[in-house]
Structure 1
Amino acid sequence: MTKVFSTLLLAGLCALSMATAQAAGLNAQVFDRQGKPLANAVITLKGGTGPAPVLKASMDQRDQEFVPRVLAVHTGTQVSFPNSDDIRHQVYSFSPTKRFELRLYEKTPSEPVLFDKPGLVVLGCNIHDWMLGYIYVTDDPWYGVTDENGTLKLDALPPGRYTATLWHFKSEDMQPIPGGDLEIPAAGLSKRFDLDVEVKPEDLPARPAPGAFGDAFHKAAH
């Protein structure tokens, strides 16, 4: 190994070590008004230099439900809508952010749908009224959806100041909610968020009463 190569290798390892040491992270947990962990809450962060966004995503249809029920994507993402059921679905949205319709189909449509504007998209199925899905499209570089424990981990954030935004389909008029400013140190940050929402059993993936899509769309559109 030559001296020049050794020097370059050492410099590269040092740069990698410094970059790793400077990578922070956010461990967030969201709770509802009763203090229970809140699943399907979207958290976005504005600030810092974000990674190159992944501009492909998927929302499946299984057991006559959208899976995941809530999907967060970056503006410019192409979303595919595979159908894993043994029956046909007809996915559509009238939301101003993205209007589209996928005619009755099985398996996977040949072309994904481009979500090119930020905002909320409420999804329905023209055949199964109880099917409801949500795609939250954001310009913010950091984003994600909480799991069943209300938790979300965002890794490799540069230390610095960020502005958080939260959203949940039970938020008033389904509008985004300011989450305040966060100072994320190099060691990372654990943060609790509280949303004044309540998820009732009938709000969970099951089979809501007919008209559920119309109610959700009306809130999102207005």
Structure 2
Amino acid sequence: MTRVVSSFLMAASILIGSLASAATLTAEIVDAQGKPLTDAVLTLQGPAGKPDPAPKADMDQRDQRFAPHVLAVRTGTQIKFPNSDNIRHQVYSFSAAKRFELRLYGGTPSDPVLFDKPGLVVLGCNIHDWMLGYVYVTDDPWFGVSDEKGALTLDSMPAGHYVATLWHPQAPDMQPVSGGEIDIPAAGLRQRFSVNVLPKADDMPAAPAPSAFGDAFHKAAPE
């Protein structure tokens, strides 16, 4: 009986210790002028241990746009492509990280698409040339996408030393860049990251130009 109680107390102590060391990173991502950047991806490599896997995600199509515009997932994630519009779409990608095509459809295809290689996947629609979306597939265990205020929060992270990587669709060459190294204490950390991006003209059309997919694909493809 004493051995059972001792084992229980040891397990409880380990659990409490791990919970106590769980930290929160509150990140703010801005451009070179200090303005908030939405749709920026932050990934982190750090102490051993990974959060619970998230093997499923959705990339919707609403109002003839991909929603979200940028989706970050862990390698091995299955993504569904529901079509919430009342018209049909035909989603495709030529990217090396994932080549696929979902032929003309409404509703949600029964089979999700497995994203089994890390890298950037540029999405287009064969019917609506202006539709453009991105899936950022990463092997890093910690990642997120900034909101309209340039903010993102990563919870339950082990305290320790991390190496950060940043990506944004308006980056000049559309390639990931170093975000530096940070130390996250058990009490948590607020950190600002900066990404150089191309200016977005105020007079740009609400939808990308018909050539937007081709431009994005060629930028994202490694030389």
TM-score by length of 1: 0.92
Q: Letter of the aligned partner of 2:185 in structure 1?
A: P
Give the whole-Å Cα distance in 1 for the aligned partners of 2:76 and 2:3. 43
Give the whole-Å Cα distance in 2 for the aligned partners of 1:156 and 1:103. 40
Give the whole-Å Cα distance in 2 for the aligned partners of 1:113 and 1:25. 31
Q: Which residue of 1 aligns with 2:140?
A: 140
| 8 Å contact kept, 1:62–1:84 | yes
Give the whole-Å Cα distance in 2 for the aligned partners of 1:131 and 1:98. 18
| 1:143-158 superposed matches below 5 A | 143-158=143-158
SS in 1 for 2:53: coil
> Kindly tell me: are residues 71 and 205 of structure 1, through their superposed partners in 2, closer, same or farther at Cα, counting changes over 3 Å?
farther
| 8 Å contact kept, 1:55–1:76 | yes
Q: Which residue of 2 aligns with 1:60?
A: 60
| 8 Å contact kept, 1:202–1:208 | no
Return 118-127 or 192-201, whichever deviates more. 192-201
CA displacement 1:113-159 (0-9 Å, x = unmatched) = 11111000000000111110000000001011011110111111111
Return 168-177 or 47-56, whichever deviates more. 47-56
Give the whole-Å Cα distance in 2 for the aligned partners of 1:88 and 1:206. 21
Q: Letter of the aligned partner of 2:18 in structure 1?
A: A
Deviation at 1:206, TM superposition (A): 2.9
Give the whole-Å Cα distance in 2 for the aligned partners of 1:59 and 1:205. 23
Give the whole-Å Cα distance in 1 for the aligned partners of 2:4 and 2:90. 59
Q: Which residue of 2 aligns with 1:106?
A: 106
Q: Which residue of 2 aligns with 1:178?
A: 178
Give the whole-Å Cα distance in 1 for the aligned partners of 2:205 and 2:56. 24
| 8 Å contact kept, 1:59–1:79 | yes
| 8 Å contact kept, 2:172–2:198 | no
SS in 1 for 2:140: coil
SS in 1 for 2:196: coil
Q: Which residue of 2 aligns with 1:219?
A: 219
Give the whole-Å Cα distance in 1 for the aligned partners of 2:25 and 2:84. 34
SS in 2 for 1:191: strand
Q: Which residue of 1 aligns with 2:88?
A: 88
Runs of 4+ in 1 over 3 A off after TM superposition: 2-16, 201-205
Deviation at 1:63, TM superposition (A): 0.6
SS in 2 for 1:17: helix
SS in 2 for 1:172: coil
Q: Letter of the aligned partner of 2:46 in structure 1?
A: G
SS in 1 for 2:173: helix
Structure 2: runs of 5 or more not aligned: none
Deviation at 1:199, TM superposition (A): 4.7
Q: Letter of the aligned partner of 1:154 in structure 2?
A: L
CA displacement 1:31-61 (0-9 Å, x = unmatched) = 0122111010000001221123211111000
> Kindly tell me: are residues 61 and 202 of structure 1, through their superposed partners in 2, closer, same or farther at Cα, counting changes over 3 Å?
farther
Structure 1: runs of 5 or more not aligned: none
What is the number of equivalent residue pairs in this alignment? 221
Return 86-95 or 202-211, whichever deviates more. 202-211
Give the whole-Å Cα distance in 2 for the aligned partners of 1:143 and 1:39. 15
Deviation at 1:3, TM superposition (A): 8.3
SS in 1 for 2:218: helix
Give the whole-Å Cα distance in 2 for the aligned partners of 1:126 and 1:133. 13
Percent of aligned positions that are identical = 64
Give the whole-Å Cα distance in 2 for the aligned partners of 1:113 and 1:72. 14
